[in-house]
């Protein structure tokens, strides 16, 4: 029986995709794993493991590159929690413009003042004057599923929106409001935006992208919103910029010890995708992708292998993970041809140094031929469905 290990609590909406499987948080030697935030760097991978599905967009808790070398596919669920994060960003825009958090903290100090509370409120409210976001400029860095929703919602709220994404796809560009002004460099955002929100993955390029040099380019008093990854910003630089007034506010979904208690730093306890709707959406997408891969070999939304998907047409389906090197495909096809087996349909797609072959055959190949394929230099995993 196929085994799926559940490393975190997952929405029960995922259950139906694993009917007939052993699906539990105690499955041993699993064929697949579904996970949210559990750290997998120390997880001991068994030989049966085919794939890991992350119910969320970020996969920093999964050693994806190491798994690619073992022919283990890592899936994520881009866009499944996009609306939840968008709503949090919109909330944070208001928090950045108005001093709500400070004001609420102050109101709590009035407990016990009895009938004097209304007078004290009227006297003290001037300390918490803020600004409206309508008419202000929002800079959006990154137009993936979340960035698009944020930009379009901000336009609807009356903001001017300027954005930058060198990897903007045609489909995502078409989904953007025509009112969004695209610029070629981030510097144009930094110079003009009253609010800046980043929606990019954590990579070597984006780590500490908000450093001293970058923040020096901001408008004085700009609000920086970071719901992507805490490491996008240099914490000490941010604290210094808040102290000097260069940054009006820093709002992040990734609190750190250093940020907590800093004036004008608003630390949200990682609530971006913490809604029942987002958890359901992520679980369903992750379960669907994982089960489709296990049953049909199709790859959709992998972070370490190319997307390869096609309907079943033959008697048997051969799935091969291999390095993206010359002549390897011809060697594999030659092994199939040597058995006199016809290829009904096939796709071989590469992504960086890795590639994935789906090959539908009119006959089932012998176990011996599969072993011959596994011995080909550059082949990482061979699976017959």
pLDDT band at 174 (very low <50, low <70, confident <90, very high): very high
Q: What is the dihedral of CA 363, 367, 369, 373, to 10 degrees?
A: 110
CA–CA separation, 216 and 315 (whole Å): 63
What mean pLDDT is predicted for residues 64-76? 97
How buried is residue 191: exposed, middle or buried, by Cβ count under 10 Å (0-12/13-18/19+)? middle
Is residue 215 a contact partner of residue 247, using CB atoms and an 8 Å limit? yes
> What stretches of 76-171 adopt beta strand conformation (E)?
137-141, 160-164
pLDDT per residue as tens digits for the range 359-378: 999 999 999 999 999 999 99
Spatial separation of the C-alpha atoms in residues 253 and 368, rounded to whole Å: 53
Say whether pLDDT at 57 is over 90.
Answer: no
Residue 126 phi, psi (nearest 5): -65, -20
Q: Which two tokens stand for residue 360?
A: 């539908």
Q: What is the CATH number of domain 82-96+130-267?
A: 3.40.50.720
| Sheet order of strands, 343-351 included | 343-351, 354-361, 316-323, 379-384
Count other Cβ atoms within 10 Å, centred on residue 171: 8
Q: What is the pLDDT of residues 141-162, one digit of tens each?
A: 999 999 999 999 999 999 999 9
Does residue 273 carry a pLDDT above 90?
A: no
User: In which element (H, E) is residue 123 found?
Assistant: helix 117-124
Q: Which residues are catalytic?
A: 229, 258, 270
* pTM, entire model: 0.81
Question: How many residues are given for the chain?
Answer: 385
Mode of pairing for the β-strands spanning 343-351 and 354-361: antiparallel
**What pLDDT shows up at residue 202?**
87
Give me the mean pLDDT over the 328-343 stretch: 95
Question: Quick one: pLDDT band at residue 58, thresholds 50, 70, 90?
Answer: confident
Q: What is the SS3 assignment for 52-97?
A: EEECCCCCCCCCHHHHHHCCCEEECCCCCCHHHHHHHHHHHHHHHH
According to CATH, where is 3.30.70.260 located in the chain? 308-385
Q: What is the DSSP string of 181-202?
A: EE-SSHHHHHHH-SEEEE----
The pLDDT tens digits of the residues spanning 198-235 come to 999 888 999 999 999 999 999 999 999 999 999 999 99
Q: For the chain, give the percent of residues with pLDDT over 70.
A: 100
Q: What percent of the chain has pLDDT over 90?
A: 97
> How distant, in Å, are the alpha carbons of 162, 167, 238 from that of 145?
16, 13, 27
CATH homologous superfamily of 308-385 equals ACT domain (3.30.70.260)
- Tens digit of each residue's pLDDT (9 = 90 or more) over 78-121: 999 999 999 999 999 999 999 999 999 999 999 999 999 999 99
Average of per-residue pLDDT across 54-82: 94
Architecture of domain 1-81+273-305: 3-Layer(aba) Sandwich (3.40)
Q: Which residue ranges does the chain devote to CATH 3.40.50.720?
A: 1-81+273-305, 82-96+130-267
pLDDT (tens digit per residue) in 246-256? 999 999 999 99
* Mean pLDDT value across the chain: 96
Which residues are CB-contacts of 112 (< 8 A; sequence separation ≥ 6)?
none
Residue labelled with tokens 């995922």: 14
């Amino acid at each position: 029986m196929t085994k799926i290990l559940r490393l975190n609590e997952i929405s029960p909406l995922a259950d139906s995709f694993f009917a007939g499987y052993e699906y539990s948080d105690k499955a041993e030697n699993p064929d697949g794993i579904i996970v949210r935030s559990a750290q997998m760097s120390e997880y001991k991978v068994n030989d049966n493991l085919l794939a890991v599905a992350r119910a969320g967009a970020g996969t920093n808790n999964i050693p994806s590159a190491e798994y690619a070398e073992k022919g283990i596919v890592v899936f994520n669920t881009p866009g499944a929690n996009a609306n939840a994060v968008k709503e949090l960003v919109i909330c944070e825009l208001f928090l950045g413009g108005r001093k709500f958090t400070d004001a609420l903290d102050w109101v709590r100090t009035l407990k016990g003042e009895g009938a004097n509370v209304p007078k004290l409120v009227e006297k003290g409210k001037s300390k918490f004057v803020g600004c409206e976001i309508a008419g202000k400029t929002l800079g959006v860095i990154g137009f993936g599923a979340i960035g698009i929703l944020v930009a379009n919602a901000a336009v609807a709220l009356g903001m001017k929106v300027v954005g930058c994404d060198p990897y903007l796809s045609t489909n995502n560009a078409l989904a953007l409001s025509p009112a969004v002004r695209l610029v070629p460099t981030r510097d144009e955002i930094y110079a003009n935006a009253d609010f800046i929100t980043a929606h990019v993955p954590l990579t070597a390029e984006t780590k500490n992208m908000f450093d001293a040099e970058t923040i020096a380019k901001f408008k004085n008093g700009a609000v920086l919103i970071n719901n992507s990854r805490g490491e996008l910003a240099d914490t000490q630089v941010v604290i210094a910029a808040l102290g000097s007034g260069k940054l009006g506010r820093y709002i992040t979904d990734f609190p750190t010890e250093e940020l907590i208690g800093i004036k004008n730093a608003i630390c949200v306890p990682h609530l971006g995708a913490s809604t029942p709707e987002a958890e359901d959406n992520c679980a369903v997408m992750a379960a669907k992708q994982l089960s489709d891969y296990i049953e049909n070999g199709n790859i959709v939304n992998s972070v370490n292998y190319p997307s390869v998907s096609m309907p079943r047409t033959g008697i048997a389906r051969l799935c091969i993970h291999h390095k993206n090197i010359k002549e390897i495909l011809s060697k594999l096809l030659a092994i199939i041809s040597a058995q006199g087996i016809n290829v009904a349909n096939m796709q071989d797609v590469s992504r960086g140094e890795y590639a994935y072959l789906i090959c539908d055959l009119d006959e089932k190949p012998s176990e011996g031929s599969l072993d011959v394929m596994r011995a080909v230099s550059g082949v990482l995993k061979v699976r017959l469905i």
